[in-house]
Structure 1
Amino acid sequence: MAKKKRRTRRPPLNELHYAAIDLLSDVPTRNHEDISHILGISRMTLYRWRQRDDFDRELGKAITRKVRAKHPHRKLRWELNTPAQVERFFIASGWLT
């Protein structure tokens, strides 16, 4: 009889994750190398975090909060659910080139 694979649970996001989210959601954003150096982690760790669904969700929320804080009277007509959508939003708004 084959053994069942145990699925390991991923630990929840911690302060270091949220610090990375804060740095990634700044406009204009720094590159991954600068952010990883500031946080004292490797660039590959930051890339792996970007692939996590929970990290991606929190990053989208942080970007949405910062956009709304900058333009409180404007209604957002954009769906900002994925990093690609957020990047398109910043390019269209002229904040990124």
Structure 2
Amino acid sequence: MAKKKRRSRRLPLNERHYAAIELLSDVPSRNHEDIAYILGISRMTLYRWRQREDFDKELHKAIMRKVRARHPRRKTRWELDTPAQVERFFVVSGWL
């Protein structure tokens, strides 16, 4: 009889995840090593978190919230779908 594979259940995001999201969404951002040190985790843990779909969605929301807060009346023509595109937007606009 073959053994059934267990499906691992991922825990929901916690306070450390949200702290990492806030630090990553700052522009200009600190590097991953500094953020990991501040949070008391390893750099590889932070990279693994970045691979999570739910973490990435929350990071995107935080970045967009900060972009809108900076210019609430201005609508951008840019499609800002990834953190890299948001950072590029700030560089081209001259805010960095």
Answer whether TM exceeds 0.5 for this pair. Answer: yes
Aligned-partner Cα distance in 1 for 2:13–2:75? 30
Q: What are the residue-to-residue correspondences of 1:38-49 with 2, within 5 Å?
A: 38-49=38-49
Aligned-partner Cα distance in 2 for 1:85–1:26? 14
- Name the structure, 1 or 2, with higher relative contact order (CA <8 Å, separation 6+): 2
Shift of 1:72: 0.5
Shift of 1:95: 3.7
Shift of 1:2: 1.9
Shift of 1:8: 0.8
**Unaligned segments of structure 2, at least 5 residues:** none
**Unaligned segments of structure 1, at least 5 residues:** none
Q: What are the residue-to-residue correspondences of 1:63-78 with 2, within 5 Å?
A: 63-78=63-78
- Paired residue type of 1:85: Q
Shift of 1:90: 2.9
> Identity percentage over the alignment?
82
Number of residue pairs aligned between Structure 1 and Structure 2:
96
CA RMSD between the two structures: 1.5
Equivalent in the alignment of 1:59: 59
Aligned-partner Cα distance in 2 for 1:29–1:95? 13
Is 2:6 aligned against 1:6?
yes
Do the aligned residues in 2 keep the contact of 1:28 with 1:95 (CA within 8 Å)?
Answer: no
- Paired residue type of 2:43: R
